[in-house]
Amino acid sequence: MAETKRTVMLKGKPLTLLGPEIKVGQKAPNFRLLATDSTEVALSQSEGKVRLLSVVHSLDTNVCDLQTQRFEEEAARFKDVVIYAISMDLPFAQARYCGAHNISNLITLSDHRDASFGTAYGVLIEELRLLSRAIFIIDRDDTVRYVEYVPEVTQPPDYDKAIETLKKIVD
């Protein structure tokens, strides 16, 4: 894993992000993550669809829970968009979370196995081996159309800006 010069804050403490900074206009890196049933899911499996990647630290933290609940609501409205909530949580913990919170419109995915998503998308926090909060929107042609790296992990993303961008892409 190549260390970058980028950092993210966690309660005011700087932490190192590993991997490249994804930019709008570039092709989205493929990934292989685990679903709640431990089957492998790749970005290429949703080819031809618009995808929103909601990256969270852990589903069992307040801001991550709120972020996942918000995108669960949005997933019900955007039927032709695939929304993934991605974390380092184990698949069985994600399954428990989904059941406890009636998550049925978005798909939770785990990067715990090899952190390949975290390093490909530049969201792996070296010191914690957790993912930093971020939003990525990928269009039907696998081009990245929106990126938000949230600078303070304990803060939510800009939901309105992400949803506004999503509406423009889907229309």
Residue 64 is among the residues annotated as catalytic for this protein: yes
Residues 6+ apart with CB under 8 A from 86: 33, 53, 54, 55, 56, 108, 109, 110, 111, 117, 131
Alpha carbon distance 5, 39 (integer Å): 34
Q: Which residue has the tokens 């990256």?
A: 55
Which of 28, 52, 56, 64 is the catalytic position? 64
For the chain, how big is the Rg over CA atoms in Å? Answer: 15
What burial class does residue 127 get, using C-beta atoms within 10 Å of its C-beta: 0-12 exposed, 13-18 middle, 19+ buried? exposed
- Please state the separation of Cα 138 from the chain's center in Å: 11
End-to-end CA distance of the chain: give it in Å, rounded: 38
Which residues are catalytic, by number? 64
